Amino acid sequence: MVNSSPAVAAHAEGEEIEVLESTDVLPVAPEDYDPENSGFISTERFRDLLAAHGSELDPHKLEVLLALADGNADGKICYQDFVNLMSNKRSNSFRRAILQGSRQLRNSALREEVGLGLSRRLVRHVAYETLPREVDRKWYFDSYNYCPPPWLMLAITIAEVVVFMYYGFQLNRWVLQVSSPYFLKGPLPYHPQLRAQAWRYLSYIFMHAGIEHLGLNMAMQLLVGVPLEMVHGALRIGLVYVCGVLAGSLAVSVTDMTAPVVGSSGGVYALVSAHLANVVMNWSGMKCQFKLFRMAMALVCMSVEFGRAVWLRFYPPAFPPCPNPSFVAHLGGVAVGLTLGVVVLQNYEQRLQEQSLFWIFFSVYTLFILCGIFWNIFAYSLLDVKLPPPP
């Protein structure tokens, strides 16, 4: 790789485009390849650029660029697409050009490469687990360097284990901690009598009903959440996770108004359902091994965890009249995963703000949040709901 010159301004399609400093940007001046300021580079000049500097690129990136050149039958390439590509900000038009190109990335598949170290084999494995297109897998393989690491899912999981261990020693109970009279007295779980304490709509994820509850959630969170974070980043995966958590607690407050909530199932189910939906929607492109069996096992784990939550909800509570924790948070997480989550996973390295479906689902989600807030403010008194006493 070569270090680029400082940022230069390029005129493309009547708009000013800044080519930011990046270690991946080739030293190219727009006036050399676009003297008419048309916003396009001819494929011939583009090939000259690749011939002169191709040795400075990752081999997979060079392959993608050649496919881009082959994919433009009109003989020209948008300069903005080129800048975005070299800045790791690929556009939908770039993806369409790749998919329509005559080259179609027919070189050896990423899976066939040999001599890789353990860390690179892990990156390749994650690419095949989560991405349905070979061009995206190769791009991710060349770009990912474990910086930053998948810290978010690991940090949440560690925090959940620490809280569980603390309450395990405090309550002297590890299975069905929820049966302890002191379980709901802490500052973390959601309780309908304490719904004015807004942080509880999120903090409840750190409390679990027992080791069986924590174990299933932790397994799904790590096996699915960590690879997704490695590919899509902490910001996007965190968005899906937090939206699932918030949707879960608000869904409980609307549909199961007297029940408390504990566990990270809302966020976990948002991630897992989004991933499974992405696999189904791109079934032929997904090249992960034993995908049908593994998908069936994921559904079994989700069903077992959901069945446990339903059983616990209707099991006679240890300390009536307060019911056991609700299972509705699982359904709120699934709803987020099948809407917002799918849009995020379907648009690897695409700008979410340019996706109309993202704004549609985000608007619906925001409307749900606002309705949930107003419901919590007014509905309990208007409906004269008989709530259990505070813990």
Q: What is the pLDDT of residue 335?
A: 96
Q: What is the pLDDT of residue 70?
A: 54
Q: What is the mean pLDDT of residues 69-82?
A: 61
**344 or 54, greater pLDDT:** 344
| The residue to which tokens 């390029």 are assigned | 10
Q: Are 13 and 78 in contact (CB under 8 A)?
A: yes
Question: What is the rounded CA–CA span in Å between residue 357 and residue 345?
Answer: 12
Q: What is the mean pLDDT of residues 201-207?
A: 96
**40 or 57, greater pLDDT:** 40
| The residue to which tokens 């925001």 are assigned | 366
Min mean pLDDT across 96-105, 190-199, 272-281, 303-312 is at: 96-105
Q: What is the pLDDT of residue 22?
A: 35
Q: What is the pLDDT of residue 371?
A: 96
Question: What is the rounded CA–CA span in Å between residue 246 and residue 231?
Answer: 24
**298 or 25, greater pLDDT:** 298
Q: What is the mean pLDDT of residues 145-167?
A: 94
Q: What is the mean pLDDT of residues 187-195?
A: 93
Q: What is the pLDDT of residue 207?
A: 94
Q: What is the pLDDT of residue 104?
A: 44
* pLDDT beyond 50 at 56: yes
pLDDT more than 70, % of the chain: 76
Q: What is the pLDDT of residue 17?
A: 32
State residue 181 phi and psi, 5-degree precision: -65, -15
Tell whether the torsion through CA atoms of 197, 152, 334 and 222 is positive or negative: negative
Cβ-Cβ contacts under 8 Å for 360 (sequence gap 6 or more): none
What is the chain's mean pLDDT, rounded? 80
Q: Which residues are catalytic?
A: 265, 330
* pLDDT digits 0-9 by tens, 356-377: 899 999 999 999 999 999 999 9
Q: What is the pLDDT of residue 284?
A: 84
Runs of H (alpha helix) within the chain: 30-33, 43-53, 59-70, 79-86, 92-100, 118-130, 134-143, 151-171, 200-203, 211-220, 226-255, 265-281, 291-314, 328-336, 342-346, 356-374, 380-382
Q: What is the pLDDT of residue 273?
A: 96
Q: What is the pLDDT of residue 42?
A: 73
Q: What is the pLDDT of residue 174?
A: 87
186: exposed, middle or buried (Cβ count in 10 Å: 0-12, 13-18, 19+): middle
* pLDDT beyond 60 at 28: no
Q: What is the pLDDT of residue 114?
A: 78
* pLDDT beyond 70 at 71: no
**22 or 377, greater pLDDT:** 377
* pLDDT beyond 70 at 169: yes
Model-level pTM?
Answer: 0.78
